[in-house]
Amino acid sequence: MTPPPHSVPLLRPRLPDGAALAPYLAEIDASRWYSNFGALERRLRARLAEHFGLPEGGVVCVANGTLGLTLALLALEPSRGALCMMPSWTFVATPLAANAAGLTPWFVDVSPESWSLEPDGARQALAQAPGPVGAVIAVGPFGSAPNPDDWDRFTEETGIPVVLDLASCFDSARPGRSPAMVSLHATKVLSTGEGGLVCSTDPDFVERVRLLSVFGLTARGSEAWGLNGKMSEYAAAVGLAALDAWPETRRCLAALTTQYVAALEHLSGVRLSPGFGRGSVSGSCNVEILTATAESVDAAMAEAGIETRRWWARGCHRHPAFADCPRTALPVTEGLAERVLGLPFYVDLDAVDQVCGALREALEQA
Ligand SMILES: Cc1ncc(COP(=O)(O)O)c(C=O)c1O
């Protein structure tokens, strides 16, 4: 039997509607140019560069974030089979991208304060590396972006390149030299449906990623092991319309964030995810349940008609595909996996009191 629909769903993405897209689609009709760095993709790239305070050439648009991560890793040209250090506390796209770039995911633990792999943690983990480390992927969890300068310094000191997986950090990401990927998937605050971008303060590196995203093709033929990671003009049209609406989208998300902070900051037994409500907006609201398991609260919330999700499940190391990947001890990840729960969050959500009331009751029952 199909379960009854939740009265409050977890997520209801809202992308630009047909009217907002129409002028951009008319441009595509007129130009008859549908992909391969057309006028809309170039304009989107320029506007995204402006958003991140980068000069033109600081951003490349890609078909999705996973391909963006893969391309950034390929552009670093690490030795095939080398280890790629990364947190297990991430979405599966992170290790999948490393594998696609010819690297072996090596899972390490995160800081209990930031929920992310930090440069000091990475330095300590290096002493336990079970083989040569070709690259590090640092992840900005749930919209909380790391300081890129700290990671650039890590690379200067160790010689190991870093890629920043800032999939959900469109609003908080600050680019540095280490390439950063931001996802533009439908679940993200700025979306092209499927899409992503790679940015860096190093335009030569960004140009290398762009070249790899078009089969590594130059006038001389395919010069490098690239792939097809280009963004189509249709996705770029959605991105441009989404950027037009971004000030309003951001205002709504900031108001929602403020409501959640006000409702949850005095609720004992829960802690908002690091960075939530600290000036930037994200596409999800995650809490750490301190007095019960996320599984039991998830079940109680479902009884109350409210959909919740353990976004990163039990950590990547628990997925069958990565069972053989090397890893360090992961006590913080294991704890977060037991306790972190995503609450409903989307621009026109009008049930924050209902969600937080149900959460309070679920905690009282636990
Ligand atoms: C941490 C992380 N990395 C990578 C991705 C992959 O991005 P995309 O869905 O655009 O491929 C996601 C998607 O949500 C993510 O959360």
SS3 247: helix
Angle, in degrees to the nearest 10, between helices 331-339 and 294-303: 10
- For a mutational test of ligand 1's pocket, the pick from 183, 231, 273, 310, i.e. the residue with the most ligand atoms closer than 8 A to its C-beta, is 183
CATH code of 156's domain: 3.40.640.10
On whether both 234 and 306 belong to a single domain, the answer is no
CA 70 to ligand 1 centroid distance, Å? 12
Atom number, ligand 1, closest to the C-alpha of residue 90: 1
What pLDDT is stored for residue 68 in this prediction?
98
- For a mutational test of ligand 1's pocket, the pick from 61, 62, 91, 115, i.e. the residue with the most ligand atoms closer than 8 A to its C-beta, is 91
pLDDT in tens, the chain (366 residues): 566 678 999 999 999 999 999 999 999 999 999 999 999 999 999 999 999 999 989 999 999 999 999 999 999 999 999 999 999 999 999 999 999 999 999 999 999 999 999 999 999 999 999 999 999 999 999 999 999 999 999 999 999 999 999 999 999 999 999 999 999 999 999 999 999 999 999 999 999 999 999 999 999 999 999 999 999 999 999 999 999 999 999 999 999 999 999 999 889 999 999 999 999 999 999 999 999 999 999 999 999 999 999 999 999 999 999 999 999 999 999 999 999 999 999 999 999 999 999 999 999 988
On whether both 105 and 165 belong to a single domain, the answer is yes
What pLDDT is stored for residue 1 in this prediction?
55
Q: CA of 297: how far to CAs of 266, 290, 315, 357, 362, in Å?
A: 18, 11, 19, 13, 6
What domain range includes position 256? Answer: 246-365
Domain termination site, one of 240, 266, 299: 240
Residue 256 lies in a domain: yes
Backbone φ and ψ of 218, nearest 5°: -125, -175
What pLDDT is stored for residue 5 in this prediction?
74
What pLDDT is stored for residue 356 in this prediction?
97
Is the shortest distance between the CB of 168 and ligand 1 below 6 Å?
yes
The owner of tokens 């971004």 is 246
- CA-CA distance, 139 to 183, in Å (whole number)? 12
On whether both 68 and 200 belong to a single domain, the answer is yes
- CA-CA distance, 262 to 251, in Å (whole number)? 17
Cβ atoms < 10 Å from Cβ of 364 = 11
On whether both 196 and 280 belong to a single domain, the answer is no
Number of domains in the chain: 2
Q: CA of 92: how far to CAs of 222, 251, 282, in Å?
A: 30, 30, 19
On whether both 215 and 279 belong to a single domain, the answer is no
- CA-CA distance, 179 to 75, in Å (whole number)? 10
- The pTM (predicted TM-score) of the whole model is 0.97
What pLDDT is stored for residue 366 in this prediction?
82
On whether both 299 and 272 belong to a single domain, the answer is yes
Residue 6 lies in a domain: no
Q: Which stretches of the chain are DSSP H helices?
A: 18-31, 39-51, 65-76, 93-100, 119-126, 148-158, 203-212, 233-264, 294-303, 331-339, 352-365
Is the shortest distance between the CB of 310 and ligand 1 below 6 Å?
no
On whether both 175 and 218 belong to a single domain, the answer is yes
Angle, in degrees to the nearest 10, between helices 233-264 and 39-51: 30
Nearest to 189 by CA among 114, 284, 92: 284
On whether both 35 and 127 belong to a single domain, the answer is yes
Is the shortest distance between the CB of 196 and ligand 1 below 6 Å?
yes
Q: What residues does 270 pair with on adjacent strands?
A: 289
Residue 94 lies in a domain: yes
CA 169 to ligand 1 centroid distance, Å? 11
Domain termination site, one of 240, 272, 302: 240
What pLDDT is stored for residue 319 in this prediction?
98
Gyration radius (Cα) of the chain, Å: 21
What pLDDT is stored for residue 6 in this prediction?
84
Cβ(312)–Cβ(88) below 8 Å: no
